Amino acid sequence: QQQVKQSPQSLIVQKGGISIINCAYENTAFDYFPWYQQFPGKGPALLIAIRPDVSEKKEGRFTISFNKSAKQFSLHIMDSQPGDSATYFCAARPGGTSYGKLTFGQGTILTVHP
């Protein structure tokens, strides 16, 4: 019940295209859903995050769509650029006193071709 399932494992997109990564969860106690971007040899960097009281959040070219009833959320990268090539992780955290206990998905390796 603590798992977060992420798909696809890898994704190849042409420059200017839309990249879409999906995640699903089971634990209804999760109340915070961040996305992280990780480049080789670096730690994950927070990209964008959402709480379940909204269905969508947009920051620049990055949008999270959230479907509470389906227990799914997704990351959309508009106008994908070669510099977006990285591994992306969705994550989830329960509310209450479980501060910081992020559960991560398995990751998606995104390659954007020029």
Binding site for other proteins (CB under 8 A): 6, 32, 34, 36, 41-46, 49, 51, 89, 91, 93, 97-107
* Minimum distance, C-beta of residue 9 to other proteins, in the bound complex (Å): 9
| Pair type for strands 72-77 and 86-94 | unpaired
* Minimum distance, C-beta of residue 107 to other proteins, in the bound complex (Å): 5
| Pair type for strands 103-104 and 86-94 | antiparallel
In the beta sheet, which residues pair with residue 91?
104
Nearer to other proteins, 1 or 99 (CB): 99
